[in-house]
Structure 1
Amino acid sequence: MTAPIKAGYFQTHDFSAKNQVVIDDKIYGKHAVSEPVLVELLQSPALSRLAGVHQHGISGLLGLTPKVTRLEHSVGAFLLVRLVGAALDEQVAALLHDISHTAMSHVVDFALSEPGEGSFHEVHKARFVKTTQIPAILTRHGFGDMKPIEEELYPLVEMPSPHLCADRLDYALRDIVGFGHVRLEDAQRILVSLKAMPSPTSQHRLLVLRDEQLALSLARGYMACDRDVWGNPAHGDLYTRTAQLMKSLIKGGCVREEELWTLSDEAFWSKMRQEVDHLGREAMNKLESERLPDETGLPLSRNAKVRTLDPDVCVPSGEVKPLSVLIPEYAVERRQYILARQALYTL
């Protein structure tokens, strides 16, 4: 019998049964997936390669954060919409929402994205997908219009901040647990509290929580993750320094842009080490040896988002209200946090 494959920090995949994939996730539990389109996508090289891409880019590669992967996050987003009863096309959209992420994850945004552009993987998603088996798989299973590639068409998958959506909630749950801000059992309780309102197939569907205290725990944990890692100037410094090396190698032709999609983080880092000059090698050695710099006095790049949540909560009357309305103290706390982070921006 084939042993389960490690998909990431929290998750394994078992392909030993015919026409079925068993996903075992420490947060979501065990789930058997048998829908043909989902099984084929989970087995595809285009998706499975994301097991080699760290969710936290250079911070994950250097072991400064738990080695959560883009694959387990993509599968987690899929499991979230599946748990609340989403239609099959929305489940496919959730599974594929990060399909075009490159080696080093969002580090590439600092290296190659133009000012005002979206994330590199979003801008180049259609270009990448055309090079994969994904269009053939979708067409074979009745999705020839390629609609599930456009995750923004699916409200449970993508929703503007600070609302909940599967993308935002999955990485939040993994990191609030992985960074030690929320206990695993409390993250599981947040999942149990989750619901799609007014229904999982309504045109104006929305992910909500049914417990305001769990919503508060999630929102505070999310801000803590932003403070400590996502929007932390020290982690931003690592991203910027790594991006400078990546940009010089790609623009100079030493590394082909296509290798961003064919190499894992580790392989891409090795490729960089082979191609850099002695100054670049010193810079890479410094990144590896110095680890996380002191954030005191470091600015926050204007490319960095200030991430907060204001989860929608279903109250006993059936109404849906933002957490900040239900708990005004949280509204003040969130606003103060945003102002404090913005004060770190470079001029």
Structure 2
Amino acid sequence: MLIKDELYGEFHIEPVLEELIRSKPVQRLKGIYQGGASCFVNPEWNGTRYDHSIGVMLLIKKFGGSIEEQIAGLLHDVSHTAFSHVIDFVFKIDQEDFHEQIFNQVIEDSEIPMILQKYGYHHQDILNDIEQWTLLEQPAPELCADRIDYTLRDMYSYGKISIEEVHAFLDNLIVISGSLYIKDLNIAEWFVKTYYLEVIDYFLDPMNVYGYELLAKVIKRALDKKLLPFSILLKADQEAMYALKNLHDPEIQTLLKQLHPNVVVKEDDNQYDMHRKGKVRLIDPSVLIGARLLPASQVSENVKHMNAEAKSRSEKGRFIKVIST
């Protein structure tokens, strides 16, 4: 099977990956928006978990990862509920890892174990410990395929970076002992800046904050009132939204009518209607300087400053005033 990706180019993938891509759990991700509530307040914020999952798989392949690690990359997000990380705000999960908590059960309840077994793989060996795959996942603040792909994909799709910048970044990545590092300090500074465009400017955009807070409130009300079975949230976004819109509950319907792109909001630290503090996400990629790997912040005042600013803004969060709905 030939796959063409707008960021990484063309790749031939193995039959096991092709069959996994065609499976119901992976196909469902076409209907799970990467940005959670984002697309409901800005239709242009419409990247999907499917595109991201394919991208992570291909990025791992591009840098020499094994078939097993490509499988892990493809499947790492299959347990995301409808509306992605909105569910973490419903349940007040600070680490925003609800999808990881239910990952093994979602895999076990799917056709994925049978597909893997057909090709001679055991799902427990590949998927029970995702952290064994060092191209796919690394503890922050280092780079990994997951972190790289969602940053590049979102910022390219939303017009913040060019394809030439993406390729220049990829050309300056190097694999050492199974992990990704950067060969050029200027490129490291560029990625740090781009990453904070993603996790600060985009994640904490006032409209994004509004959408997350409102949709989380709707889902929490529906679950608390036992009007919505949790199983609905294991379907795609539009199916879950259809179920919410068909609940006979005036409070929920009033809230849902306020979730649309024409809302007017602004940041206001003093007179605010909602405050959002998400997971603090910092990046400080190690750079190959001579024969040594050094954190970018040790050799770049720019990175040190960007990290301090991002930490401050993350810890403060966003205070949002709703002007009109």
TM-score in terms of structure 2 length: 0.90
Provide the residue aligned with 2:3 in structure 1. Answer: 23
The whole-number CA distance in structure 2 between the counterparts of 1:265 and 1:318 is 48
What secondary structure does 1:286 align onto?
coil
- The counterpart of 2:187, out of the listed 196, 214, 237, is 214
Matched, 1:310 2:300: no
The Cα shift of 1:208 comes to: 0.8
Please show how residues 1-347 of structure 1 align to structure 2 within 5 Å: 20=1, 22-33=2-13, 35-111=14-90, 113=91, 115=93, 119-144=97-122, 146-149=124-127, 150-198=129-177, 205-262=178-235, 264-288=236-260, 290-291=262-263, 293-297=265-269, 298=272, 300-302=275-277, 304-315=278-289, 317-344=290-317
The Cα shift of 1:65 comes to: 4.3
- With over 3 angstroms needed to count, the CA separation of the structure-2 counterparts of 1:206 and 1:254, relative to structure 1, is same
The Cα shift of 1:288 comes to: 1.5
The whole-number CA distance in structure 2 between the counterparts of 1:101 and 1:209 is 30
- Name the aligned partner's letter for residue 255 of structure 1: L
The Cα shift of 1:236 comes to: 2.3
The Cα shift of 1:36 comes to: 2.2
The whole-number CA distance in structure 1 between the counterparts of 2:98 and 2:169 is 31
- Name the aligned partner's letter for residue 314 of structure 1: L
The whole-number CA distance in structure 2 between the counterparts of 1:276 and 1:103 is 21
The whole-number CA distance in structure 1 between the counterparts of 2:201 and 2:123 is 41
The Cα shift of 1:251 comes to: 3.3
In the TM superposition, what whole-angstrom CA distance separates every residue of 1:187-245 from its partner, at most 9, and x where no partner exists? 122122222113xxxxxx32112222122111101112222221345422321211111
**Superposed CA RMSD:** 2.1
The Cα shift of 1:31 comes to: 1.6
The Cα shift of 1:267 comes to: 2.0
The whole-number CA distance in structure 1 between the counterparts of 2:155 and 2:280 is 16
The whole-number CA distance in structure 2 between the counterparts of 1:145 and 1:53 is 23
Give unmatched runs, 5+ long, in structure 1: 1-19, 199-204
- Which of 1 and 2 has higher RCO (CA within 8 Å, sep 6+)? 2
What secondary structure does 2:307 align onto?
helix
The Cα shift of 1:314 comes to: 1.9
CA contact (8 A) 1:233 1:300 kept: no
Give unmatched runs, 5+ long, in structure 2: 320-325
The whole-number CA distance in structure 1 between the counterparts of 2:310 and 2:288 is 25
- With over 3 angstroms needed to count, the CA separation of the structure-2 counterparts of 1:64 and 1:291, relative to structure 1, is farther
What secondary structure does 2:126 align onto?
helix
Which moves more between the two structures, 285-294 or 23-32? 285-294
The Cα shift of 1:51 comes to: 0.4
- Name the aligned partner's letter for residue 5 of structure 2: D
The whole-number CA distance in structure 1 between the counterparts of 2:166 and 2:268 is 31
- With over 3 angstroms needed to count, the CA separation of the structure-2 counterparts of 1:344 and 1:105, relative to structure 1, is closer
Determine what percentage of the aligned residue pairs are the same residue: 29
- Name the aligned partner's letter for residue 181 of structure 2: V
- Name the aligned partner's letter for residue 335 of structure 1: A
**Count of aligned pairs between the two proteins:** 315
In the TM superposition, what whole-angstrom CA distance separates every residue of 1:136-191 from its partner, at most 9, and x where no partner exists? 11222222252222322211111111110111110010122223332121012212
Which moves more between the two structures, 219-228 or 97-106? 219-228
What secondary structure does 2:116 align onto?
helix
The whole-number CA distance in structure 1 between the counterparts of 2:125 and 2:213 is 34
The whole-number CA distance in structure 1 between the counterparts of 2:209 and 2:166 is 27
What secondary structure does 1:330 align onto?
helix
The Cα shift of 1:275 comes to: 0.7
In the TM superposition, what whole-angstrom CA distance separates every residue of 1:302-342 from its partner, at most 9, and x where no partner exists? 4x023232122223x23222211221232123113312332
The Cα shift of 1:292 comes to: 5.6
